[in-house]
A and B are shown apart, each in its own frame.
Chain A
Amino acid sequence: MSNPTTKSPVFRWVLLGMLCTALLILAGCPPKVPDVQFTTIPVSVPADIFTLQNEAIAIQAVGAPGATSSQVINLDSLRAKVALFDAVTLFEYNPGVLKEIPHTVQGSNIVADLGAGKTYVIVVTPKDRILDIYVVLCTLDKYRDVINGIRPDLLDSICKVILCSPDPQHGSDLFVQFPDLGTIRTQLAIDGRQIGGWGPAPPAGVCERCTRFTAPSLVYPVSQCGSIVVAPSINVVNMTPASLSDETNQDSEPFLAVDLTNTQRLAGTAFTPNPFGTSSGKAPIYVSTDGGDTWSLNMIVPSSGSVGTSDITVATSGAALKLYGGILRVPGNLLLNILRTSDFTSPTTMATLRSRQNIDQPFVQASPVNGASTAGINDRIYVGNNDFNVSDDRTATVDVSVDGGSTFSSVRIEKRSTGNAGQDGPSIRPAISHDGTVYVAFFGWRNFTGSTATSDLVVVRDDAGATGPNPFTSLTDPSDGLAGRLVVRNLTIPFSNAPTLGFERIGSTLSLAVDPNNSGTVYVAWADRVGNGDIYTIHVRRSTDRGVTWSGDLRTITNATCCAVAVANNGTVGFLYQQFVGSGGSSRWVTHLEQTRSAFSTISDAVLATVPGNAPARQFLPYIGDYNFLLSVGDEFRGIFSANNTPDLADFPSGVRYQRSANFTSKTLLDGSGNAVAVSIDPFYFKASAIR
C-alpha cells in the first residue's frame, strides 16, 4: 500500500514507535532494568504530535514467580506527551488476550496489583471530541483532491474551523459555513461528529498546523490516517438499557440499521419482549442517537408475541429517521408485515405497508434512488422472503417497492425446478450498491430428505434496481441460460430445527455484500456441511465481474454460523461470524470480526466475544440467531450479534461497555437494587474502523 504520508520522516518516527510498542507487547520483552520491581517502556512520541489515539505503554513486573504486589505506576511521562485523554485502562497481556486489571487513580499515578513476570499494557483513551476531530480531518484528507478541485483554499479554512474554534460545533455545521462541500456530503459522512471547542485557547501550535495541511501526519494519529493500521479501533456495547437491568430474556437474532443522514442514529432489533407485556400489541426496537454508545427500547412494532415477533429485520434508506421493517407478526400464520415509520425515535407505531400469510424470513434492505432522494418518496425497498403461496414450488421471492412502500410487487427469482424439495431455502438476501444495482442470493433447493437439503447457491442481479419489466434477470447461468448464476451446485446443507451446533439450530446461513463504490465486486458467504467431520462450515467467495464468474473459497470457517459480510467505502471487506469451539463445559461461542484488503490472503482478526457455550440454558430456538448483521458506514463497520452477557472482561477481548448494572470484578449482573441477576443472551452492538 502506498500513501504520501509514509514518506514523512515524522510519520516514520510515529510508526516506529507504534510498531515498537506492538513488538514489545507481542514479544513480552524482558525488563530493561532488572533491579526494580517493574519497568516502564514508553512509546516514542514526536514532540510536535499533540495527541495520539489509543496511545499505549508496556510495562513488565519482575520479582519472585507468582508473587503479586501493589505497585504504583507513574503517568507523568505519558501525560507529557498525551495531554487530552479521558481514561486510563490497565491490561494484563497474555498472547492474544488483553485482560483489564482493576486499578485506582491517585493523582498522577495509578495503583494496581501486578504479578511478577507478567506483561502489562497501559492504554489512554483520548477525549471523544478528539476522536471526532480525527475522523473529520482524516476524511477531509481522503477527499483532498476533490475538495481542492472545488476551491483551493477550502481545506485550510475548514481546518482552522476545526482546530482553532473555541466553541464546539456539529460536523454538519461545516456544510452551512462551506456550502460547496454539500456536493460530497454523503461521502464525507461527518454529520453527527463534534468538532472544535478546545476552550479559550487551543493547545499551543495546533492552529498553525492548518498551514501545513499537506503534512497530515503532523496532526493525525497513525491509526486513523496512516497507510498502516496497528489494530482497528473497536467499540463493543451491550445494548440492554440500564432500566432493563433486571431482565433475563434470550435476546437473540439481532439486526441493525443506521440512519445514513446522521450516522449517530441507529435502530436495532432482536427477539426482545415488550417489557411491559403483550397487551399493548407492540414490540420494541432498540434506538440509539449517540452512535451506539447508549440504547433505549422504543415500542413501535405492531406485534404481540411473547418475544415481540417471529422474525424481524430493519433497514434505512436515504431519508432522515425513516425506517423500514420486515416482520413475521404475532399473532399470525407466518404473517409477513412490511412496515415503515417516518421517525424511528418517535413513539408512533410503524405503519403496515403490506401483509400476507405463509411467508418465511423477511429480510429487508432499502436505498434511495441513486442517492437522489432525501424525502424517501422514491425509496427502493427490497424484502427477500420465502413465499409458500406460489403454485410452482419456486418460493424464492423479493417483494419490491420503487415508490417508498406505496406499492409492492412480488418478484419470483427462482427460475429452475426445486425438484422434490418443493421449495427454496428460507434465506433470501438482497444487497444494494450505490449505483442502484441490486443482487440477491438464495439457496435453490433441488432435493430434501427431511434433514438435508441439496441446494444450489444462486445469485441474481438487476442493473436497474428491479424497475424494468423483467426484474432480476440481468445475470444468467451459462449452463442453461436461465436467470440466476449458479455460484456453487449441489451443496449439502443440514436443516436441523433442533440444537445441533451447541444450543443452536442450523440450516440456512447466507449473507451477501456488494462494494458500495464498485457494483461489480460482490461477496457471498454461506454455510453447508463439507463432510470432513464438520457440523457446519462457512465459506466466502467473491466475484469481480458483476457475478458472472466467482472465486473459489477465499475463507472457510468450521463449525460456525451467523455470518455476515460487508464492504467499507475504502474497499475493506468485513466478515462477521460466530464459531462454536470446544465441547461441554469448556465450549465457547467465539464471535470474530475479520477484515481484509487482499481477498483474505491477509486478515486482521478481532475477537469481539468469547463466551461460554453451555450457558445460559436455551429458552427457545434460535439460541443466538439464524442471522446477525454487519454493514458499512463510510470507512467504519457497524454490526450486531447476540451472546452470553456475563460481565467478564476476559470474554470480550476487544473491550466492552455495559449500560445495564454489572459488577465486572465479581462477574455478576445486578438488578436495580443490587441483587444478582441470572446470565442471559443480550444483543451487542459494535463499530470498528476499517483497516487501510
Chain B
Amino acid sequence: MRLRNRASSVRGSVFSLGLFLLMALEPAPAQPNTSGAELMKRSSLIFIGTVSRMEAVSFSGVRASKNTAVVNVDRIIEKPKAVSLVEGKQITVELKDPSLFHEGTRATFYAEGWVLGEGVAVKETGHELIAATAAPQPQGAEEKRVQTARQNKMDAEVRSRIANADMVAVGRVTSVRPLALAAPGRKSITEHDPDWQEATIKVDSGLKGIRSGKEVVVRFPASEDVAHYSAPKFTVNQEGVFFLKKDKVTGRPKALLGGAQVDAYVVQEQKDLLPKEEAARVRALMKRR
C-alpha cells in the first residue's frame, strides 16, 4: 500500500505512476502510514471502495471531469453523522491523481466533502491502494487502525487547546450571575447579544496558570442565539476541565472577586469544557508535551 497526500508534487505523481505500474505486475508490499493523523485531520469520510467508472459521476448534481470517478462503497470506516451513505452504494470521488486508478482499483479512500445532492460527492485527501492479491486483513483491523489515528487526532486537538489556553483547571462552578456591562462601551441591542454571565470556579486542580484551591471568574455567553448556543452554559455545582482565555471580548478585562480586581476569563466554544472524567487524560497529555 502507498499513502498519498496533498503534498504530492509532479515528481511524486511520476513516481506514483511508476509505482502503480509496478503494482499492476505484482502485489504491493505494505508501506508505513507515516502521516495518517495528518491525513485524518482533513478527512471526514473514510471508506474502502472499488473504482467502478473513471471520468464519471454517480449523480447529476456534480460535474464529471478527468479527475472524477464513480466508486462502489465496500466498507465505511468513518462518515459524518448527517450524511446518508451506506455500503453497497456508489459515491463520486474527485481524485487527486486519476492516473493511479482504473476500473477495478480497490483502495481505502480518505476524503472531505464536496457536493451533497441526490448522491454523495467527495474530494480525495489521500488513499491507500489495496492490491487485488493482498491477504484480507483481520476483521476490525482497519477500524482499529483508524480509531487509533482518530484518538491521536483528538489528543492533538486537546494539546493545541492546552497550548492556546491561558489557564487550564479542573474545578467546580460555585456561583453564576449576570455580567453588568456598564461603560466603557455602550451595549448594542441585537438578537446576537451574548448575554454574558459570570461564573466563579473553585479550582480543585490547577493544570496551567493557576494553583489548586484558588478561585477564578469565568465569563460565558448564556444566549441561545445561533451565534452562541454551542458555547458551554455553566450551572452551579457543574464540574469539569476548563480551558480558559483572558477576557478580550467583553470590553471589561477585570472582574471583582472577594472585593479584589482580578483578571477575568472567558469560554466561547463547546470544546473549552471537558467532562471531569477527562482530567487524567489531559494531565497525561500535558506531561507528554
B93 CB to nearest A CB, Å? 14
Q: With A275-B82, A505-B191 as known contacts, state yes or no: A306 contacts B230, CB within 8 Å.
A: yes
Interface size on A, residues (CB 8 A): 67
Considering the complex of A and B, which 5 residue pairs feature the smallest CB-CB distances, nearest first?
A: A296-B117, A276-B113, A247-B82, A672-B84, A620-B229
- Chain A, residues 224-259, CB within 8 Å of chain B (1/0): the string is 000000000000000001111111110011000000
Residues of A within 8 A of B41 (CB): 279
Residues of B within 8 A of A310 (CB): 192, 225-227
A448 and chain B: residue at smallest CB distance: B189
B248 CB to nearest A CB, Å? 10
Interface residue A157 (Cβ < 8 Å from any Cβ of B): no
Residues of B within 8 A of A361 (CB): 190-191
- Chain A, residues 414-439, CB within 8 Å of chain B (1/0): the string is 00000001110010000000000000
Given contacts A253-B226, A620-B225, A621-B229, could you give 11 more A-B pairs where the C-beta distance is less than 8 Å? A245-B84, A310-B225, A360-B190, A360-B191, A360-B192, A421-B189, A426-B191, A497-B193, A620-B230, A621-B223, A661-B84
Interface residue B112 (Cβ < 8 Å from any Cβ of A): yes
Q: With A275-B113, A307-B226, A330-B227 as known contacts, state yes or no: A659 contacts B84, CB within 8 Å.
A: no
Residues of A within 8 A of B45 (CB): 276
Residues of A within 8 A of B191 (CB): 360-361, 426, 497, 505, 507-508, 621-622, 626
B285 CB to nearest A CB, Å? 20
Interface residue B19 (Cβ < 8 Å from any Cβ of A): no
Q: Are A241 and B116 in contact (CB under 8 A)?
A: yes
B42 and chain A: residue at smallest CB distance: A279
- Chain B, residues 86-109, CB within 8 Å of chain A (1/0): the string is 100100000000000000000000
Complex partner residue of A333 from B62, B112, B226, B249, CB under 8 angstroms? B249
Those of A289-320 within 8 Å (CB) of chain B: 289, 294-299, 305-307, 310-311
Interface residue A358 (Cβ < 8 Å from any Cβ of B): yes
Q: Are B114 and A299 in contact (CB under 8 A)?
A: yes
Residues of B within 8 A of A453 (CB): 189
Q: With A275-B83, A305-B227 as known contacts, state yes or no: A347 contacts B114, CB within 8 Å.
A: yes
Those of A480-516 within 8 Å (CB) of chain B: 495, 497-498, 505, 507-508
- Chain A CB count within 10 A is highest, among B84, B119, B224, B229, for B84
Cα A92 to Cα B83 in complex, Å, equals 36
- Chain B, residues 172-213, CB within 8 Å of chain A (1/0): the string is 000000000000001011111101000000000000000000
Residues of chain B whose beta carbon lies under 8 Å from any beta carbon of chain A: 41-42, 44-45, 61-62, 80-86, 89, 112-120, 186, 188-193, 195, 223-227, 229-230, 249, 270
Residues of A within 8 A of B186 (CB): 422
Interface residue A382 (Cβ < 8 Å from any Cβ of B): no
Q: Are A618 and B112 in contact (CB under 8 A)?
A: no
Interface residue A403 (Cβ < 8 Å from any Cβ of B): no
Complex partner residue of A497 from B44, B81, B89, B223, CB under 8 angstroms? B223
Q: Are B82 and A242 in contact (CB under 8 A)?
A: no
Interface residue A156 (Cβ < 8 Å from any Cβ of B): no
Cα A388 to Cα B189 in complex, Å, equals 9
Interface residue A14 (Cβ < 8 Å from any Cβ of B): no
Residues of B within 8 A of A70 (CB): none
Q: Are B224 and A358 in contact (CB under 8 A)?
A: no
16 A-B contacts (beta carbon < 8 Å):
A242-B118, A243-B116, A243-B118, A245-B84, A246-B84, A275-B80, A284-B116, A289-B61, A297-B117, A299-B113, A330-B227, A333-B249, A334-B188, A334-B190, A620-B225, A620-B226
Residues of B within 8 A of A618 (CB): 224
Complex partner residue of B115 from A273, A296, A386, A495, CB under 8 angstroms? A296
Interface residue A211 (Cβ < 8 Å from any Cβ of B): no
Residues of A within 8 A of B114 (CB): 299, 347
Residues of B within 8 A of A621 (CB): 191, 223-226, 229
A450 and chain B: residue at smallest CB distance: B189
- Chain B CB count within 10 A is highest, among A276, A279, A289, for A276
Interface residue A94 (Cβ < 8 Å from any Cβ of B): no
Complex partner residue of A294 from B85, B115, B117, B195, CB under 8 angstroms? B117
Residues of A within 8 A of B62 (CB): 296
Residues of B within 8 A of A253 (CB): 226
Q: Are A620 and B118 in contact (CB under 8 A)?
A: no
Residues of A within 8 A of B81 (CB): 246-247
Q: With A271-B226, A275-B80 as known contacts, state yes or no: A243 contacts B190, CB within 8 Å.
A: no
B270 and chain A: residue at smallest CB distance: A306
Residues of A within 8 A of B223 (CB): 497, 621
Cα A275 to Cα B85 in complex, Å, equals 12
Interface residue A440 (Cβ < 8 Å from any Cβ of B): no
Q: Are B82 and A273 in contact (CB under 8 A)?
A: yes
B272 CB to nearest A CB, Å? 13
Interface residue A274 (Cβ < 8 Å from any Cβ of B): yes
Interface residue A277 (Cβ < 8 Å from any Cβ of B): yes
B228 and chain A: residue at smallest CB distance: A620
Interface residue A673 (Cβ < 8 Å from any Cβ of B): yes
A282 and chain B: residue at smallest CB distance: B113
Residues of chain A whose beta carbon lies under 8 Å from any beta carbon of chain B: 241-249, 252-253, 271, 273-277, 279-280, 284, 287, 289, 294-299, 305-307, 310-311, 328, 330, 333-334, 347, 358, 360-361, 386, 388, 421-423, 426, 448, 453, 495, 497-498, 505, 507-508, 618-622, 626, 659-661, 671-673
B191 and chain A: residue at smallest CB distance: A497
A297 and chain B: residue at smallest CB distance: B116
A287 CB to nearest B CB, Å? 8
Q: Are A620 and B189 in contact (CB under 8 A)?
A: no
B41 and chain A: residue at smallest CB distance: A279
- Chain A CB count within 10 A is highest, among B61, B224, B225, B230, for B61
B265 CB to nearest A CB, Å? 18
Q: With A243-B119, A244-B116 as known contacts, state yes or no: A328 contacts B227, CB within 8 Å.
A: yes
A659 and chain B: residue at smallest CB distance: B118
Q: Are B225 and A497 in contact (CB under 8 A)?
A: yes
Residues of B within 8 A of A277 (CB): 44, 80
B117 and chain A: residue at smallest CB distance: A296
B207 CB to nearest A CB, Å? 25
- Chain A CB count within 10 A is highest, among B86, B119, B192, for B192
Q: Are A276 and B227 in contact (CB under 8 A)?
A: no
Q: Are B61 and A294 in contact (CB under 8 A)?
A: yes
Q: Are B112 and A276 in contact (CB under 8 A)?
A: yes
A296 CB to nearest B CB, Å? 3
B29 CB to nearest A CB, Å? 32
Residues of A within 8 A of B226 (CB): 252-253, 271, 305, 307, 310, 620-622
Residues of A within 8 A of B115 (CB): 296-298, 347
Q: Are A244 and B227 in contact (CB under 8 A)?
A: no
Complex partner residue of A244 from B61, B84, B193, CB under 8 angstroms? B84
Cα A622 to Cα B189 in complex, Å, equals 16
A445 and chain B: residue at smallest CB distance: B189
Cα A277 to Cα B85 in complex, Å, equals 16
Q: With A244-B84, A276-B112 as known contacts, state yes or no: A388 contacts B225, CB within 8 Å.
A: no
Q: Are B44 and A244 in contact (CB under 8 A)?
A: no
Q: With A275-B116, A297-B115, A621-B224 as known contacts, state yes or no: A243 contacts B193, CB within 8 Å.
A: no
Q: Are A280 and B112 in contact (CB under 8 A)?
A: yes
Cα A299 to Cα B122 in complex, Å, equals 11
A151 CB to nearest B CB, Å? 38
Q: Are A671 and B84 in contact (CB under 8 A)?
A: yes
Q: Are A426 and B190 in contact (CB under 8 A)?
A: yes
Residues of B within 8 A of A622 (CB): 191, 226
Cα A299 to Cα B116 in complex, Å, equals 9
A402 CB to nearest B CB, Å? 28
B62 and chain A: residue at smallest CB distance: A296
Q: Are B117 and A295 in contact (CB under 8 A)?
A: yes
Complex partner residue of A280 from B86, B113, B249, CB under 8 angstroms? B113
Residues of A within 8 A of B120 (CB): 243
- Chain A CB count within 10 A is highest, among B62, B82, B85, for B82
Residues of A within 8 A of B119 (CB): 242-243
